[in-house]
Amino acid sequence: MSNLEKLTKAGIVDPNHLSDAEKKTVESLSDDEVNCLISVKGKAQAAGIAAAPKII
């Protein structure tokens, strides 16, 4: 499974909203980075942290 597929399946990214350059960035991630993203963003989503204004 590609990184893009893993992150899409985890609900972390939507490939329809990623540019080709962003997809290359996603595919360049190591397994550790992919797993870390899935972990932290999964927790954020579970906590209801949605898109919000930029923090300071």
Q: How far is the CB of 51 from other proteins (least distance, A)?
A: 4
The residues that touch other proteins, with contacts defined as CB under 8 A, are 12-13, 21-22, 24-30, 32-33, 36-37, 40-41, 43-44, 47, 49-56
Residues 3 and 29: beta-carbon distance below 8 Å: yes
Q: How far is the CB of 56 from other proteins (least distance, A)?
A: 5
Q: Which among 19, 24, 21, 23 has a CA at the least distance from the CA of 8?
A: 23
Residues 11 and 45: beta-carbon distance below 8 Å: yes
Q: How far is the CB of 9 from other proteins (least distance, A)?
A: 15
